[in-house]
Chains A and B, each alone.
Chain A
Amino acid sequence: MQEKALKAREKPAALGPDLDIKSFTRDVKSWPNCPVRSLPKDIAQQSLNVGVRTDEKGRAGTYFQIDHSTVFGAVQKMFEGKAEIMSTEEALEKYDWMEDYWWKLVAVDVDKYTALAEFGWDKGYFIRVLEGQKVTLPLQACLFVSKDNLNQNVHNIIIAEPNSEMQIITGCAVHPNVQRGLHVGISEFFVKKGAKLTFTMVHNWAQNFDVRPRTVALVEDGGTFVNNYVCLKPVKSLQMYPAAYCKGVNSRARFNSILYGTKNSYLDVGSKVVLQGVGSRGEVTTRAIASDNAQIYARGLLVGEQEDSKAHLECRGLLLSDSASIHAIPELVAKVKGAELSHEAAVGKIAEEQIQYLMARGFSESEAESLIVRGFMDISIFGLPNQLQDEVKKMVDITTARAL
């Protein structure tokens, strides 16, 4: 593993601006373990903004990491024996079988960021729901950066055992003092037979922050993987292209992304679904808004490798400024006949007739615009349970209201 990683140490990523890893620091004090409720107010507030509640209200369990330290990781009492949540470091010590999941979906030598996560590994979360268990409340995880110019490299493992069901909400956030930094996140998802996993990730980075997540999911027979992503705050550069392999018969994968690019943000976000199982289905839905000088690349790739497989890709982009840009790149690759792949993409500014229509209902021009923009970022596409949907909607509404 180390040998492979060593070879990829200088290898730039296929997409996104190349970063000088050495310009970030790895030197940071460690945080002690503590009850998640006792975290300082400013950290609690920032984590709440990405959907992670330090009061744990309405959550089945929590993982909280600050910089390189795991601060907290446990499920609530009523979910003990159903689900577990801890750092991947602890999980590797606890379970021999972790070797079967570690670096099994994401290759360590993809690029210098995966290599970095091997050499400079800073924990990450391990979340597992046991066979047949349906966890009724969302599990939550927060990856927090408190020090300026820090490099944080997490490696997460998420396992939905056969016929289990779970919702996960994860948030990445930085302390208001943090301007610059590099976050690398390796995530490997295992959705086993008949399991259903909905993963919702909210990112709130800083204007000079660089982010390189590397994510792969494997979906077995009858399994469903839903990956929701929300990015609302400015970020210097974010490049990711998560992939889901629908290997099982009747397996399903869905990627929903809401990207709100502001200021000088560079967002290069793709979603890839590979249909390998008979009857597998994929769906990619992206809503991208670019304002100020934001540059957004919205990519999508559907690969049909099996007969009787079907997938659809939909990308809508809304341009709010003349100096911003949205580049939609939908790709379809059919390798066998009987793989049915389709896409639709539309990029443009707000239609004048929509504004006029709403003004004819008494809204001012700016009210009409904000209504249309908020409507555009319609999080009902995520298919979340009501309470979580309300929480995420609130986050989106607050950010949009501020941005407009």
Chain B
Amino acid sequence: MKSIRTYLLFALLAIITVVTFFSLLHGYQASITKAEQLFDQRLKDLAEIIATSNQDIISRKQSSAHYSSKSFFQIWSKELLLLLRSDNAPSQFLSNTKNAAQFNDVNYKGYRWRTYTLYDQRLNRWVVTGERTDLRQNIAENIVTASIIPIVLAIPLAAIVIWWAIGLGLKPLKIFALQLSNKQVDDLSPIILQNTPEELTQLVTTTNALLARLNAAFLREQHFSADAAHELRTPISTLKVLLHNLQQNHKYGGELIPLVAAVERMAYVTEQILSLYHHSPEQAMLKHDTVDLTGIVQKVIADNYEFISSKGQQVSLTAEAFTVSNASAFALETMVQNLILNASKYTPDEGEIRITLSEISLNNCLIIEDSGPGIVDSELKRVFERFYRINGDQHDSGIMGCGLGLAIVKHIVELHHAQIKLEKSEFLGGLKVLVIFPKQGGE
């Protein structure tokens, strides 16, 4: 069912049409019968009037009287000699003399006629009146049709009124739907309807109860995230410090290295999962700040320089002054960090990473290029999926990762209504990541 309004309109119209059709059919038949009776009565009356007003008992020379009515009359003597007739009447006896005072249907001149035969006992003669059946039917039909037409014409009018009335009746439902659809993603406040009709009360109450429960769950979830972060970060810190202390103690040598790597990895994956959760579109409350992206890129490179320089990689930044409006500094820092660390991780030692912030066809662009192996076309789509790593388990195990980095980046890019593109770098031969921010001012 596409629309309650349309459904109700058509259902009501169909019912009205069917009911009207049958009552009209019945009314038509009844009216026609009634009209026939009326016409017959008129013929009978006419015959009686002629019988009383005309005294002829012998034939006149001029036997036809001018008479313009649709009906005709004849006066015959007892011996069936024509005494007088109207000029539209035939000159033969159009009746059956055996039965006086009765109606007959006869054929004459290609028409069917309805006649009434009266035997005038006072003057011993026959009076016959008649009229054409088809003309009688025409008149009867005209009368009946005239009374039916307004009813038929009223149906479209009724359709308009019904359409309007249903619309009025459904208005609270429409307002309810509008309120729901206008809700912001993070707006879980209850819906307030004025004059809620009985049928909607339950729906509104249940919806508001659901919204309230969702809101509570949402708050719980946020607390859970903060608690989980604290609960995981503290034991990982403990492990790190304990390992550090063990390394200071020179009793242990190489056997600690895999342990350190495992703890590092655990710490990394925990942070990435929390970060993914924190920046998911349902979770993130975007701050409407104007953020200095150049400063963020500089900070991220500075913070991660130890890692980059440990691989002997060259990193450079070419930047124009560059801000992003309606942005979250924390989210953008996470995004830039993931992209730069990815570039560093997948670029071999002594490689090069080139970062550019510039305007390309009026859009602000962040471009990160590296001299690594790049990504083959067939993998380009899948790298944004969660926990997806190129070549799966055969992924170079020397590189720490969990396949969440680009999923996080994608969330943040979407949060800022930006676009991300992966291409082959023309200058360095590796991967080129473009993050294209929407035009400033939203033109």
Chains A and B belong together in one complex: no
B residues in contact (CB < 8 Å) with A:
none
Chain A interfacial positions (CB closer than 8 Å to B):
none
